[in-house]
């Protein structure tokens, strides 16, 4: 997946340990639309949080969490 010069590669590798990556973006709704359109698994649905962020989290084939968020 790529957008505006940023690329995220979803790979399946046995030697990778699960990690959590948190990405702050300008338009989380547009990223969510793109990610769901590609059929990437969603681990936490898009929603507004009381700590001032709108975010969702994906899950890659290795079980790594990749979150996308935007300030409210």
Residue indicated by tokens 């700590």: 51
More confident residue, 7 or 46: 46
2 has a pLDDT exceeding 90: no
pLDDT tens figures, 9-68: 666 666 666 788 888 899 999 999 999 999 999 999 999 999 999 999 999 888 889 999
Residue indicated by tokens 């590609």: 38
pLDDT of 24: 87
Does the domain made of 19-71 have the CATH classification 3.10.180.10? Answer: yes
pLDDT of 13: 65
pLDDT of 7: 67
In 3-state terms the chain splits into helix, strand, coil percentages (rounded to 5) of 15, 40, 45
């Amino acid at each position: 997946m790529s957008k505006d010069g940023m690329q995220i590669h979803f790979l399946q590798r046995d030697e990778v340990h699960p990690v959590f990556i948190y990405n702050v973006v300008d338009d989380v709704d547009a990223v969510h639309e793109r990610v769901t359109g590609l059929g990437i698994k969603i681990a936490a649905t898009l929603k507004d949080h009381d700590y001032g962020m709108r975010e969702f989290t994906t899950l890659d084939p290795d079980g790594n969490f990749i979150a996308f968020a935007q300030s409210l």
